[in-house]
Amino acid sequence: MSTEAVAFFDGRLVPLREANVNIATHAFNYGTGVFEGIRAYWDADQGDLFIVQAAPHFARLLRSARLLHIEVPYTVDELVEWTRELMRANQFRTDVYIRPLAYKADPAIKVGLSGIGSAFAMFALPMGDYVPTGGLSVAISSWRRIADNMIPSRAKVTGAYVNAALSSDQAKSDGYDEAIMLGDDGQVSEASSSNLFMVRQGILVTTPVTADILEGITRQVVFDLAKDLRIPVEVRPIDRTELYSADEIFLCGTGVQLAGATHVDRRQIGDGRPGPITTAIQERYFALVRGRAPEYRHYVTAVYGGKA
């Protein structure tokens, strides 16, 4: 990595220390921004860095931006290429977390969205595991997941993540690794910042997009991997108590990656270890993200082309 970090700001690559916004910026005052979390994985044997699901992430960013009337002056392909340039400028040779942001950029004291200028920026930092991947202890949060008719749950809105922060902080203060959130109907939605899957009687089950979840990019990858492994999948509502009697549970998302949960509200799940279905999907996923599985190479974008 270079001695000085580089960011994408105002349409060009600049030193990260210069990529600053005014405290009067609308997004800073009102949370009127959207973002993505994208990972890139270094593989020393291939001498390359692989960005995972770059195009789907940026397509979701543009959808999120439209919901908040934020203008992004780039196509998906242009954003992917700027991300590759950013990786090269930082000379990353490690696992990386990439944060693109689109936001209301005018210095304005105004509660609204229309008539306020937009901006786009992106930075990246080295990152390993966000949470342990081998056995999480999770709790059902007393904080309910925001409903889509309050703040769009299918968009990654910056201000909305106070909801996730409150539930995650509560769980960690109580000695857990992560929180699971219920919707207003009392049924399972997702974890604080990741989607949830459980296994019951050999069937992989997850909540529908109508359960106020983020339509996860990694969630879709799990569907694809499960299909290849011939694991049956159901998308349906999940009751809280079903989690207590599940055979396996795991969380998935860019940040958490694919992490097995072994305890819910201090109740052991299965034999207290990540189960066989979790392990099988996890093994394929970690091969995929490092570009080690030829059949899944289309999920990743090489940064250096093996010339790092």
Enumerate the domain spans of the chain. Answer: 6-126, 136-289
Q: Are strands 267-268 and 257-264 parallel, antiparallel or unpaired?
A: antiparallel
Q: Would you state the pLDDT for residue 1?
A: 41
**Residue found by looking up tokens 């795991």 in the block:** 250
Contacts of 66 (CB under 8 A, 6+ apart): none
Identify the active-site residue in 156, 172, 227, 307. 156
So what's the pLDDT on residue 308?
46
Q: Phi first, then psi: what are they for 173, rounded to 5°? A: -65, -30
Q: Encoding tokens for residue 94? A: 């490690």
Q: What are the Cα distances from residue 47, in Å, to 52, 89, 191, 308?
A: 16, 16, 34, 5
The DSSP bridge pattern shows strands 300-302 and 188-191 to be unpaired
Yes or no: is domain 6-126 CATH 3.30.470.10?
Answer: yes
Token digits of residue 282: 């996890």
Residue pLDDT tens, the chain, 308 long: 446 999 999 999 999 999 999 999 999 999 999 999 999 999 999 999 999 999 999 999 999 999 999 999 999 999 999 999 999 999 999 999 999 999 999 999 999 999 999 999 999 999 977 777 779 999 999 999 999 999 999 999 999 999 999 999 999 999 999 999 999 999 999 999 999 999 999 999 999 999 999 999 999 999 999 999 999 999 999 999 999 999 999 999 999 999 999 999 999 999 999 999 999 999 999 999 999 999 999 999 999 985 54
| Nearest Cα to Cα of residue 182 among 205, 155, 211 | 211
pLDDT score, position 194: 97
Query: Which numeric CATH code is attached to 136-289?
Result: 3.20.10.10
**CB 120 within 8 Å of CB 152:** no
- Specify the pLDDT at position 3: 60
What is the rounded CA–CA span in Å between residue 119 and residue 121?
Answer: 7
Using a cut of 0.85, tell me whether the model's pTM lies above it.
Answer: yes
User: E strands within 171-217?
Assistant: 178-182, 188-191, 195-200, 203-206
- Is 50:301 a contact under the CB 8 Å cutoff? yes
CA torsion through residues 293, 294, 300, 304, sign: positive
Residue 132 is predicted with a pLDDT of 72
**Helix, strand, coil proportions of the chain in percent (round to 5)?**
30, 30, 40
**Is 104 tagged catalytic?**
no
In this structure, the strands spanning 48-52 and 38-43 are: antiparallel
In three-state secondary structure terms, 1 is: coil
**Which structure tokens are listed for 23?**
């405290």
